[in-house]
């Protein structure tokens, strides 16, 4: 446990004032689930906000109990002497608005009705999620902030850098994009359709029902997992091997290892995620476009004082390198300080949660530069 | 793909080359270093001349080494052009020991001239007398400290001579502002060397503009 943040606790912040959402609707009050690692310095300038991907939560590092089998989702990157070095930095992680791990979302109780929101929950955007994170950061007394995230987390980092340009000192965008490709939106649409057409979905009011829309959510997750891998990664992992047998059964049960893998991923996902949250968050991701409201991506970055680090992965076809290059090119055109590295990896989009060694080297050096530690 | 002339990186010649380029570049200027390798020159320019600089490099390991030096580096292929950079945005654009390994040297140089007020191009002179003798007597593709590769694995796919470069600049109305000749890790001065520089120079640094 020498380089672990150790035992951590998820905390909750209740905000009792209305939040005006991008849709025009209002969320009267809300909770934010968050964790912090390391100490905030006297100047309150060493905070790093890490932003989770589609189905992540506030638990980014360490364990909740010593007996926990799993550590936080970015444990390899957050801790003493790790990429986000908790001996130097105060790391903050929170659950995204609309999620289902402590921050208010469709599975939370609507104080006006005493029942779960379900589809009564307003449609949210990445911008709305950042407004909520800003409340948390202000509550923690942070003056200057560094933001970092992969995939959807990278989109939130971009949103931070553009909407809180005076506050963001550094912005790390990993395997991300300023806007989803048509293809990526299409995959999200398939996932949502799987949920919406599950006979147990019941128009989002399934929380008190005996049967939950598990099949739909699990199919959505299966589709997701295909997009997180790549052909090479799948070939390496499963090839065309049969699952626990050496010949096919000539029926429609699981034959191939890859089928078993997807089934397993789908099934384990439904135990930790809410179908409505999946609808809301994928929608927020689909809507996101950094340039919207600015005219161009270059203009969006105009007021930013941050130093930027952008990383992509060679085999990531969901958030391909050209999308990272678009961000980099706009930053260069806007005369911003930016570094970019396309990391060789056979792991597809998942690489940002797997290729720790290279990312650690780059992020450490980048943060040293930003904080004048080199 | 651009490879670096790594062996050459350790020689006295490269240290001299860095020193000369560092002397050329103005203090507090804005510099773009193309094919910046491990970032040694850019770091030197930032430390000694207080320049604001950014590097472009294709090789992932070199990009990481440069970032570890605290530099701002963009991984990219300069053969694809410099479209993210605005016209005349940089005081100096440097292409050090790399022009001969680009796919389209003419396009790359024109792009540099578009983006930079002054452009530094350095390359090994293929008309150096030792290179000529190597080919003449050995009958094989010349190899030397500065050209250490075999014909089949060399990144130097567009080798050129000083006279080739003069002609290139003349044809395209490119101004030659300065030229520095180096042989055996020393700068060579004098009228004689200028007149027959193409024969006696191992490596050359040009400063050009348009």
**Rounded distance between C-alpha atoms, residue A267 and residue A217, angstroms:** 9
CA distance A169 to chain B (A): 15
Whose tokens are 């048509």? That residue is A182
pLDDT at B10 over 70: no
DSSP character string of A107-139? TSEETTTTEE-GGGSPP--HHHHHHHHHHHHHH
User: Is pLDDT above 60 for B4?
Assistant: no
With DSSP H G I counted as helix, E B as strand and the rest as coil, what are the percentages for chain B, rounded to 5? 40, 25, 35
Q: Which of A4, A93, A94, A151 is catalytic?
A: A151
Question: Does any CB of chain A come closer than 8 Å to the CB of residue B1?
Answer: no
* 3-state secondary structure at position B175: strand
A103: closest CA among A12, A18, A16? Answer: A12
Q: Is B24 on the interface with A (CB under 8 A)?
A: no
Contact B201, B193 (CB under 8 A): yes
pLDDT of B13 = 74
Q: Tell me how far apart the alpha carbons of residues B74 and B76 are, in angstroms, rounded to a whole number.
A: 6
CA atoms of A93 and B169, how far apart (whole Å): 57
Chain A touched by B154 (CB under 8 Å): no
Active-site position among A316, A324, A345, A350: A316
Distance CA A100, CA A106 (A): 8
**Listed residue (A187, A154, A188) closest to A171, CA to CA:** A154
Which residues contact residue B186 at a Cβ distance below 8 angstroms, ignoring those fewer than 6 apart? B16
Instruction: Tell me the two tokens of residue A202.
Output: 């019941």
Q: Does position B1 have pLDDT exceeding 60, yes or no?
A: no
**B85 chain-A contacts, CB cut-off 8 A:** 332-333
Of chain B residues 61-80, which have a CB less than 8 A from chain A? 63-64, 67-76
pLDDT at B6: 47
Give pTM, 2 decimals: 0.95
ipTM over 0.95: no
Give me the residues paired with residue A27 across strands: A19
Is-catalytic flag, A151?
Answer: yes
Mind listing the pLDDT tens digit for each residue in B122-156? 999 999 999 999 999 999 999 998 899 999 999 99
To the nearest whole Å, the CA of B56 is away from the closest chain A CA by 9
- For the four alpha carbons of B144, B150, B151 and B155, in that order, the dihedral sign comes to negative
pLDDT at position B15: 84
Report CB contact under 8 Å: A328, B67: no
Query: What is the average pLDDT value for chain A, to the nearest integer?
Result: 97
Write out pLDDT tens, residues B177-202: 999 999 888 888 766 666 788 999 99
Distance CA A109, CA A102 (A): 11
Mean pLDDT of B40-47: 97
d(CA A273, CA A106): 12
Band the pLDDT of B11: cuts 50, 70, 90.
Answer: low
pLDDT, one tens digit per residue, over B59-115 is 999 999 999 999 999 999 999 999 999 999 999 999 999 999 999 999 999 999 999
Q: Contacts by B188-196 with C-beta closer than 8 Å and gap 24+?
A: none
CA A146 to CA B65: how far, in whole Å? 23
Nearest to A347 by CA among A219, A239, A227, A179: A227
User: Would you say residue A2 has pLDDT above 90?
Assistant: no
Residue A214, pLDDT > 70, answer yes
Whether the Cβ atoms of residue A285 and residue A227 lie closer than 8 Å to each other: no
**Long-range pairs for A352-355 at CB < 8 Å and ≥24 separation?**
A352/A53, A352/A150, A352/A151, A352/A174, A352/A175, A352/A311, A352/A313, A353/A53, A353/A73, A353/A74, A353/A150, A355/A313
Query: Phi then psi for A175, rounded to 5 degrees?
Result: 45, 50
A80-94, A133-147, B157-171, B179-193: segment of lowest average pLDDT: B179-193
Q: Is A239 on the interface with B (CB under 8 A)?
A: no
Q: Is B81 on the interface with A (CB under 8 A)?
A: no
Q: What is the pLDDT of residue B190?
A: 66
Residue pLDDT, tens place only, A265-278: 999 999 999 999 99
- Alpha helices (H) in chain A, listed in sequence order: 126-139, 152-163, 182-196, 214-228, 231-238, 257-270, 275-287, 297-300, 321-333, 356-370
Q: Return the pLDDT at B179.
A: 93
Q: Which of A29-43, A213-227, A360-374 has the lowest mean pLDDT?
A: A360-374
Task: Supply the pLDDT for residue A3.
Answer: 87
CB contact set of A190 (below 8 Å; sequence gap of 6+):
A220, A223
């Amino acid at each position: 446990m020498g380089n672990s943040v150790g035992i951590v606790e998820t905390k909750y912040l209740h905000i009792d004032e209305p939040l005006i959402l991008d849709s025009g609707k209002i969320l009267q009050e809300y909770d934010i689930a968050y964790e912090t690692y390391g100490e905030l310095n006297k100047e309150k300038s060493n905070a790093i906000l890490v932003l989770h991907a589609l189905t992540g939560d506030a638990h980014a590092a360490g364990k909740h109990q010593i007996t926990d089998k799993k550590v936080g989702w970015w444990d390899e990157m957050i801790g003493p002497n790790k990429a986000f070095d908790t001996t130097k930095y105060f790391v903050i992680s929170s659950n995204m608005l609309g999620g289902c791990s402590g921050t208010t979302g469709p599975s939370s109780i609507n104080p006006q009705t005493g029942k779960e929101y379900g589809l009564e929950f307003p449609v949210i955007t990445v911008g709305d999620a950042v407004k909520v994170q800003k409340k948390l950061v202000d509550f923690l007394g942070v003056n200057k902030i560094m933001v970092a995230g992969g995939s959807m987390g990278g989109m939130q980092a971009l949103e931070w850098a553009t909407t809180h340009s005076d506050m963001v000192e550094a912005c790390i965008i990993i395997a991300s994009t300023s806007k989803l490709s048509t293809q990526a939106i299409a995959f999200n649409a398939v996932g949502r359709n799987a949920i919406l057409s599950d006979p147990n979905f019941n128009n989002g009011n399934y929380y008190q029902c005996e049967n939950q829309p598990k099949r739909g959510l699990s199919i959505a997750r299966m589709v997701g997992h295909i997009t997180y891998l790549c052909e090479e990664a799948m070939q390496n992992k499963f090839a065309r091997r049969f699952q626990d047998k050496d010949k096919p059964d000539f029926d429609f049960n699981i034959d191939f290892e890859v089928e078993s893998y997807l089934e397993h991923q789908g099934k384990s996902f439904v135990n930790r995620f809410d179908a409505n949250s999946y609808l809301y968050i994928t929608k927020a991701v689909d809507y996101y476009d950094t340039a919207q409201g600015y005219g161009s991506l270059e203009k969006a970055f105009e007021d930013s004082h941050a130093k930027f680090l952008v990383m992509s992965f060679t085999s990531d076809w969901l958030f391909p390198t050209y999308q990272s290059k678009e961000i980099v090119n706009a930053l260069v055109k806007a005369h911003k300080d930016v570094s970019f590295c396309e990391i060789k990896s056979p792991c597809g989009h998942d690489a940002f949660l797997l290729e720790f060694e290279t990312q650690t080297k780059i992020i450490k050096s980048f943060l040293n530069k930003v904080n004048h530690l080199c | 793909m651009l490879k670096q002339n790594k062996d050459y990186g350790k020689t006295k010649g490269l240290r001299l080359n860095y020193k000369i380029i560092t002397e050329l570049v103005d203090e507090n200027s804005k510099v773009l270093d193309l094919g910046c390798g491990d970032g040694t020159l850019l770091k030197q320019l930032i430390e000694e001349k207080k320049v604001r600089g950014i590097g472009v490099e294709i090789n992932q390991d070199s990009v990481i080494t440069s970032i570890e030096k605290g530099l701002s580096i963009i991984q990219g292929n300069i053969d694809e052009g410099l479209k993210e950079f605005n016209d005349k945005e940089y005081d100096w654009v440097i292409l050090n020991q790399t022009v001969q390994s680009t796919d389209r040297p003419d396009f790359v140089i024109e792009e540099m001239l578009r983006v930079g007020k002054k452009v530094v191009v350095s390359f090994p002179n293929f008309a150096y007398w030792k290179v000529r003798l190597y080919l003449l007597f050995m009958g094989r593709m010349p190899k030397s400290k500065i050209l250490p590769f075999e014909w089949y694995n060399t990144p130097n796919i567009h080798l050129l001579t000083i006279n080739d470069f003069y002609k290139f600049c003349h044809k395209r109305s490119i101004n030659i502002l300065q030229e520095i000749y180096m042989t055996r890790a020393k700068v060579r001065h004098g009228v004689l060397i200028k007149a027959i520089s193409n024969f006696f120079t191992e490596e050359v640094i040009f400063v050009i503009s348009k």
